[in-house]
Amino acid sequence: MNDRPLIITDNEYVLDDLLRVAAAAGVEVSHSRDPASRGLWRSASVVLIDATLVGAAVRAGLARRPGVVAVASTEPGSGLWEMCVRLGVERTVLLENSEELLVGVLSDAVAGGPGDGRCVAVLGACGGAGASVFAGALALAAARRAGQVLLVDCDPWGAGLDVILGIEDSPGLRWPDLAAPSGRLQIDELQRALPGVDVGAGRIAVLCHDLQPGFEIPGPVVEVVLDAGRRAGATSVVDLPRQPGPVTDRVLDRADLAVLVTPADVRACWAARRVCARISALGTRTGLVVRGPSPGGMGAREIAEVLGLPLLATMRGDSSVARDLESGLVGRTDRRRPLVKAASTVLESVNLSGSM
């Protein structure tokens, strides 16, 4: 992943000025003339967008994200402000008198630490693929690396990620209790309010559903939660339903990686093709995890080739997982187990801050 600051402009004079600002900050930047580049938009640590292209970015359907600064070479007109709000622009500045401010913005963006969190979405190719269990295992693997992890359950009809981890009786806020926040949400306050579990030197905070069925998660709330995790440098693992919907699409649009979990059989492979088509339309980077055994002898690499996805990991059947789920995955740390190995492999291959 290219996480350099991104300059979006098709004006050579604006580009020259911003490159001079970047040089003063000692920062390497990427440049795009196309405001509709979802990959660069999503991965950049901060975005400096020419004010004249804000409208084009809105029309391209780019997701709201933190760290967007609109740079104007002349005093902006009144119509720009509405577009900036829709795009999630944090501030609008005049280039001629904001060079010191922009140097600070670029310097902070590459300093590392807070603000460099990653979001990984996990979804299944079909019912019973094991995506929720894998999301839980992925969160555990990230937490064991002394990480701050936010595990988000966006499937209202699943058993619940708190049940999968074995902390369903822990007190804390669930989705229906979370008031619709606007603007920014402090991750420390959120993590203290959610049920969670300490894993080695790391911690997992779980945002999940309660026992009341059918609660519809507000899309803007999901965005605020994920933004909070990213700003804090946390790893957000989101369990998604495979059915399309506004929340699912918002998460996929903001995710650094979508992990598709599929059994190694023909029916799952056909279902996975439909899911892949939808994810591809959103431009989300996607990798495959294949769960065996295959009743017909289909190989994991064969499935990956058919789907046109990179193979992140494979895992053979493990009868002990069903037994573990009766009391929760927390504490199941044997690194030789297929589920644990596959989750660790995904973290290593993606590196959560680099490229696949």
pLDDT at 78: 72
Are the CB atoms for 143 and 203 separated by under 8 Å? Answer: yes
Distance CA 224, CA 183 (A): 7
In the structure, what pLDDT confidence band is assigned to residue 148 with cuts at 50, 70 and 90?
confident
In the structure, what pLDDT confidence band is assigned to residue 355 with cuts at 50, 70 and 90?
very low
pLDDT, mean of residues 205-221: 86
Are the CB atoms for 180 and 220 separated by under 8 Å? Answer: yes
pLDDT, mean of residues 194-217: 87
pLDDT, mean of residues 167-191: 75
Name which of 37-41, 176-180, 233-237 the model is least confident about: 176-180
How far, CA to CA in Å, does 338 sit from each of 148, 225, 317?
24, 31, 8
Angle, helices 12-25 vs 99-109, to 10°: value is: 60
First to last CA, the chain: 8
Report the candidate in 203, 141, 165 with the shortest Cα–Cα distance to residue 329. 165
Of 103-107, 237-241, 276-280, highest mean pLDDT = 237-241
Report the candidate in 276, 340, 275 with the shortest Cα–Cα distance to residue 313. 340
Q: Are strands 202-207 and 235-239 parallel, antiparallel or unpaired?
A: unpaired
pLDDT at 353: 42
Task: Using the predicted structure, report yes or no on whether residue 145 has a pLDDT greater than 90.
Answer: no
pLDDT, mean of residues 57-80: 87
pLDDT at 189: 74
Task: Using the predicted structure, report yes or no on whether residue 195 has a pLDDT greater than 80.
Answer: yes
Distance CA 218, CA 156 (A): 12
For the chain, what is the mean pLDDT? 86
Domains of the chain: 6-109 (3.40.50.2300), 118-350 (3.40.50.300)
Give ∠ CA 181-186-189 in degrees, rounded to 5. 100
pLDDT, mean of residues 300-316: 94
pLDDT at 86: 85
pLDDT, mean of residues 239-246: 90
Three-class SS of the chain: CCCCCEEECCCHHHHHHHHHHHHHHCCCCEEECCCCCHHHHHHCCCEEEEHHHHHHHHHCCCCCCCCEEEEECCCCCHHHHHHHHHHCCCEEEEHHHCHHHHHHHHHHHCCCCCCCCEEEEEEECCCCCCHHHHHHHHHHHHHHCCCEEEEEECCCCCCCHHHHHCCCCCCCCCHHHCCCCCCCCCHHHHHHHCCEEEECCEEEEEECCCCCCCCCCCHHHHHHHHHHHHHCCCEEEEECCCCCCHHHHHHHHHCCEEEEEEECCHHHHHHHHHHHHHHHHHCCCEEEEEECCCCCCCCHHHHHHHHCCCEEEEECCCCHHHHHHCCCCCCCCCCCCHHHHHHHHHHHHHCCCCCC
In the structure, what pLDDT confidence band is assigned to residue 110 with cuts at 50, 70 and 90?
low
In the structure, what pLDDT confidence band is assigned to residue 352 with cuts at 50, 70 and 90?
very low
pTM beyond cutoff 0.85 = no
Report the candidate in 232, 147, 142 with the shortest Cα–Cα distance to residue 188. 232
pLDDT, mean of residues 111-125: 77
Distance CA 66, CA 200 (A): 30
**CA atoms within 13 A of residue 220's CA, in its CB half-sphere:** 9
pLDDT at 12: 95
Instruction: Give the residue carrying structure tokens 């980077």.
Output: 285
